[in-house]
Amino acid sequence: MTHKATKIVIITEKLIVEGVTKIIEEAGASGYTMVQAAGKGSRGVRSSGRPAVVDAFANVKVEVITATRDMAEQIADKVAARYFDNYSGITYLEEVEILRPHKF
């Protein structure tokens, strides 16, 4: 009674969350979830010269369940192209099983 879907996870700076969610909505996703996050990234650089280790919860982890894998990759590519030269961020995909497909 489940069907497979793709979850895309975007972890990035809170500063750009509005732009990220705009990309998600423009891609046609019906919703997203975000949580406040802290962390340390691989690049050791952040916008505004702030240190790489952020004790305050200045990052955000955004998750989107997409009906198609194409949509997931499209969101990831657009977010990376628009922001990741200047802001810290990572994206990855996970396979999930949705129990109530009509909700997505």
Contact footprint for its own copies (CB under 8 A): 1-2, 5, 7, 9, 11, 21, 25, 30-43, 57, 59, 61, 65, 73, 76-77, 80, 84, 90-100, 103-104
| Contact in structure between 54 and 40 (CB atoms under 8 Å) | yes
Q: How far is the CB of 77 from its own copies (least distance, A)?
A: 7
Q: How far is the CB of 101 from its own copies (least distance, A)?
A: 10
Residue closer to its own copies (CB basis): 49 or 103: 103
Q: How far is the CB of 38 from its own copies (least distance, A)?
A: 5
Nearest 5°: the CA angle 37, 2, 30 is 50
In sign, the C-alpha dihedral spanning 7, 11, 17, 19 is negative
Pick from 54, 72, 74: which is nearest to 63 by CA?
A: 72
